[in-house]
Structure 1
């Protein structure tokens, strides 16, 4: 099986070809929910679900829908496919692997990190102070998560720009026309990232300190320590995933406050307890994520006959706007009851390990920003299409100039 057949090309399923359509896939999501809620893409032999209940079932039911898969929309290079990778296995094996990493992301561990995250945020906001216009992606959404995850893992924070550049490439989406180029870039990046992390891992095995890489070098799985290669693979996955998602979340929070619900910033100023509600609504409303699973046995659980071995895509961004779960789902409403029931971080056994960290970083960043600055505004002649970049979600903001009052 070559790489092209192993990779699920999302653009080919969705037909969202233009930047504009990829940034705003929501009309297409709505059409699919209403007209083709269980859709079969014959060309790639992939099923697709768009409704909340269907999405949740696929994510929870590992006996029907497995994460052990040969095909994916973000194929993981062999370098990271090892015993410590939590992404390509199911319970009970998955529980043991996940337990290795989970310690670092428990609320108690994160509480200890809160003061450090607060001081990183304060430093970044101090640099912004006094400016009337600022690129919030460059000054806050990018540096905060990559600095935090680098420090948590025990990687020099001074290398954050390089780490961010590597993880951007690792998470590049595939398209048919540019497949070979993208694959070559990813392989080269993986090698560089590996060569950077390997000596750090070797050193931490000899001189462990209080960080995740040290913990992984000491941890046991199935009665054995992880190899250096396995620790490198885990660190690479955490460094990549740990900054991409949170950068997108923070960028989208500011976009939503300016364009989805202008005026909501002043509401936060008046009542800081609304900050977590806003974060959850951004995750529900403007986070077009997807997940994939392999169908383990023939099933007609959603109506049509699905065959063992076929793939199924879960369009969680569509599920998060399902009216049967979220009334008036196409409205951005921070007062929505139960808005944290969204599936942006997945659900079930593979619920995103870093979700508590992402939420904490977003909360500290937004609350600190709101306390410090009276208001924000759109810049003149802002054209979102000029500020987008390819990402696994289709398009994300690579820059977002905002006015600060």
Structure 2
């Protein structure tokens, strides 16, 4: 258990409600203890925007080559692991898959993403109440990443089930049980992908798995094992975060900024701004690094080998960076400067894809339905599931207005 940083043990936020809305705690830490040392886990914590950005950018001081992490997925330090490495090695690893996620490459996928969104949203017609998480936020990203990789999207419930297990947060009392659960999910995921990789080696297609089979890395092709590992990582990460984003978009439209839906109806060009503000305002995320050398860059003596957690969701509400940061405001000029996708060499590879999916999903939905409303008696705590950095929506029933 020494390998895993338990965020909930640092924040001491126990209830589902506190973990879903940790914002008053973030504010208190920014104002009173912006650099906080947790002695129990030997972890430094930073909450201010500038500090978090420095941790993410400066790999000489804060390294991603680490033995401990808050990432709840079982880890390996193989030569192709995109995480747990620093430049220049990280640049070579990232280049293996980066081409598929450039905005230009993704433009060729836009019609397919649009067709999937159209189909999912058409299925909601004639219904008065739909669970937007189960009917849109979960299936869209899973189908899209499966298509990109070249695995059958009909198996999406399998991918989702494995991803959910891999991203379950560790907790002290359930640690051993979770280790077994995750190992089993990894094994099943591997056994599923391995024959697909072998088949594509014989009959390559136009997809990411086939691209990985074709490339050379360090002057030799990737092994089946390495292709499986990269594919598994992309398949899991490629749906988890986008599901959270799309779910939170609808929550923000109904709870954080009622009335915004009608503003979007009258001006669809505001959809991208809305997505950025949700990423800034309501996205539970923290990132960790290892202290690479003794430093007092933040005014405290941090020792080589210690861990530091950048509480990104707290940094995204730093008033010194975002005026009126505690307000949900899509018209604030610099909302896109949030750190939700990271910063520096490890900026999220899938960020353009996540943005595209969320924009297409919301635009298509807003065109189709005249309005949305909260369902009577809705209590958010009844619809939450624990995630690595807090709580996320496992379901969200909303009322659809067609005329």
Report TM bin, short chain.
over 0.9
Where in structure 2 are the equivalents of 1:283-302 lying within 5 Å? 283-302=279-298
Structure 1 counterpart of 2:216: 220
Cα drift, residue 75 of structure 1: 4.9
Structure 2 counterpart of 1:318: 314
Whether the 8 Å CA contact 2:4–2:69 is kept in 1: the answer is yes
Q: Does 1:280 align with 2:276?
A: yes
Q: Does 1:44 align with 2:41?
A: yes
2:354 pairs, out of 353, 358, 379, with 358
Q: Does 1:379 align with 2:367?
A: no
Matched residues in 2 for 1:218 and 1:256: separation?
43
1:95 pairs, out of 80, 91, 94, with 91
2:68 pairs, out of 71, 92, 95, with 71
Structure 2 counterpart of 1:53: 50
Whether the 8 Å CA contact 2:101–2:349 is kept in 1: the answer is yes
Q: Does 1:343 align with 2:339?
A: yes
2:235 pairs, out of 236, 239, 246, with 239
Q: Deviations over 1:263-301 (max 9, x none)?
A: 100000000000000000000000020100000000000
Q: For structure 1, which segment, 55-64 or 179-188, has the greater mean C-alpha deviation from structure 2 after superposition?
A: 179-188
Q: Deviations over 1:344-395 (max 9, x none)?
A: 1111100000000000000000001011110000100000000000111211
Cα drift, residue 76 of structure 1: 4.4
1:155 pairs, out of 151, 156, 166, with 151
Whether the 8 Å CA contact 1:6–1:75 is kept in 2: the answer is no
Matched residues in 2 for 1:239 and 1:175: separation?
24
Whether the 8 Å CA contact 2:254–2:374 is kept in 1: the answer is yes
Structure 2 counterpart of 1:118: 114
* Secondary structure of the corresponding residue to residue 88 of structure 1: coil
Q: TM-score, normalised by structure 2?
A: 0.99
Cα drift, residue 81 of structure 1: 3.2
Structure 2 counterpart of 1:34: 31
2:199 pairs, out of 200, 203, 217, with 203
- Aligned-residue Cα RMSD (Å) equals 0.8
Matched residues in 2 for 1:99 and 1:236: separation?
17
Q: TM-score, normalised by structure 1?
A: 0.98
* Secondary structure of the corresponding residue to residue 402 of structure 1: strand
1:332 pairs, out of 317, 328, 344, with 328
Q: Does 1:170 align with 2:166?
A: yes
> Aligned residues, how many?
401
Matched residues in 2 for 1:353 and 1:360: separation?
13
Whether the 8 Å CA contact 2:73–2:182 is kept in 1: the answer is no
Matched residues in 2 for 1:231 and 1:384: separation?
40
Task: Structure 2 unaligned segments of length 5 or more: list them.
Answer: none
Matched residues in 1 for 2:139 and 2:36: separation?
39
* Secondary structure of the corresponding residue to residue 346 of structure 1: coil
Whether the 8 Å CA contact 2:194–2:224 is kept in 1: the answer is yes
Q: Deviations over 1:32-53 (max 9, x none)?
A: 0000000000111000000000
Matched residues in 1 for 2:65 and 2:72: separation?
12
* Secondary structure of the corresponding residue to residue 128 of structure 1: coil
* Secondary structure of the corresponding residue to residue 5 of structure 1: coil
* Secondary structure of the corresponding residue to residue 83 of structure 2: helix
* Secondary structure of the corresponding residue to residue 2 of structure 2: helix
Task: Structure 1 unaligned segments of length 5 or more: list them.
Answer: none
Whether the 8 Å CA contact 2:265–2:366 is kept in 1: the answer is yes
Q: For structure 1, which segment, 131-140 or 217-226, has the greater mean C-alpha deviation from structure 2 after superposition?
A: 217-226
Return structure 1 stretches of 4+ with deviation > 6 angstroms: none
Whether the 8 Å CA contact 1:216–1:226 is kept in 2: the answer is yes
* Secondary structure of the corresponding residue to residue 72 of structure 1: coil
Q: Does 1:25 align with 2:22?
A: yes
Whether the 8 Å CA contact 1:9–1:175 is kept in 2: the answer is yes
